[in-house]
Amino acid sequence: MALRARKTGDQFKIEQKLEQRYDKEAELGTPTKLLAWIDASLTGEPGYEPCGAMNQNGSSWQTISDYIKDGVVLCKILNKVRQAAGMDKIKFKSNAKTEFAKMDNVEAFNRGAAEYGVAASALFQTTDLMDGRKGPMIHVIGCLNQLGFEANNKGFSPRYEHIAPPTIDSQIKKGGVGTYHPTRNKSRATKSGDMVFVERKLEKDYDGEEERGTCTVLVEWINRVLAEDPQFTPCAVPVAGEKQGKSWVSIEAFLRDGVIICKLVNRLRAAEDLPLVPYNPKPRVEFAKIDNVEMFNRGASDYGVPDAALFDSIDLLEGRKGPLCNVIRCLSMLGVVANRRGFLPIFEAVQAPVLQ
């Protein structure tokens, strides 16, 4: 397990809140359903041993994490569904002992899952398993959830008996802001040793999006969509392909309080006479900003953005380049969905995400 500094103050409260989101998924039964599907699919396979996480209290996230941490089971279930679809199996290390061998397996799984049809935004990072934390495990659960959906779509048997995602109306009725549990959270504590290498690799994801021009077209689109709002101040547009240094900081500051993204999703929803999501237009404290992000996630999910593409409030609140990539990809997905629903102005997607 990676070492990390203990969070204090508001960050400690945020960390607790993120862990509660995994608990919500456990209460819904998602991890248990996933394990049951994997077990039913792989039983009888040479060398396969079922996970021992089932008990009267549900599925232990620690046990699940240990069970799939080396990526072997992930690659095996992926190969099972790929083979049924007439696709080649992916290569992986069946006896992964070192951290880097495990990381290679996870990366092989992600590449194979994307080729199989899982949305790129649903894939998780190696540190989601390596960190050994409950919060990041939600990304793994979300990705496997999407894999199960795609397997169902391709007629794989046994079917994945998934849990239906909540709707915006049902969530508001069940208790308002604090009850929603988006599947994405890429927060990271400072790493040491091998994890420094992983952290740097993750930051390159954002650099890649910036070099491809994703950040440029996204900011331009938001500026156009909200141009008529008298209280809107446009964000400076980064120049695509140029080395921007700390330009991600200005984008993070532009979006950080959740006001702009709530205005954006409400503008899209208003174009179709859909109910607007409530939000705080002048959030002063961190938890007001968290609530705004969660309201955006509800509105975006209800609008058609896959739950796996949503991001967590901490992706903005931690002020780090790597997690900000999740925000950029989510907003890009929102733009693609808006295009498909006929919204104007068009979001000129650099590389359209795969929608489920």
In this predicted structure, the answer to whether residue 37 has a pLDDT above a threshold of 90 is yes
Are the beta carbons of 308 and 146 closer than 8 angstroms?
A: yes
Residue pointed to by tokens 């949305």:
119
C-alpha–C-alpha distance, residues 121 and 354, integer Å: 8
Distance from chain centroid for Cα 199? 17
**Terminus-to-terminus CA distance in the chain, angstroms?**
34
| Mean pLDDT for all residues in the chain | 78
What CATH topology corresponds to 170-340? Answer: Actin-binding Protein, T-fimbrin; domain 1 (1.10.418)
Are the beta carbons of 51 and 83 closer than 8 angstroms?
A: no
C-alpha–C-alpha distance, residues 355 and 97, integer Å: 35
DSSP 166-216: PPHHHHHHTTGGGG---S-----PPP-THHHHHHHHHHHHHHHHHHHTHHH
Tell me, what's the pLDDT at 326? 84
Average pLDDT of span 276-296: 88
Beta bridge partners of 54: 59
Domain(s) labelled CATH 1.10.418.10 in the chain stretch across 9-153, 170-340
In this predicted structure, the answer to whether residue 176 has a pLDDT above a threshold of 50 is no
Q: Which residues contact 191 (CB under 8 A, 6 or more apart)?
A: 2, 4, 127, 198, 199
Are the beta carbons of 126 and 107 closer than 8 angstroms?
A: yes
What CATH topology corresponds to 9-153? Answer: Actin-binding Protein, T-fimbrin; domain 1 (1.10.418)
Q: In this predicted structure, which of 62-71, 246-255, 299-308 has the lowest mean pLDDT?
A: 246-255
C-alpha–C-alpha distance, residues 26 and 28, integer Å: 5
The total number of residues shown for the chain amounts to: 356
Tell me, what's the pLDDT at 23? 86
Are the beta carbons of 334 and 300 closer than 8 angstroms?
A: yes
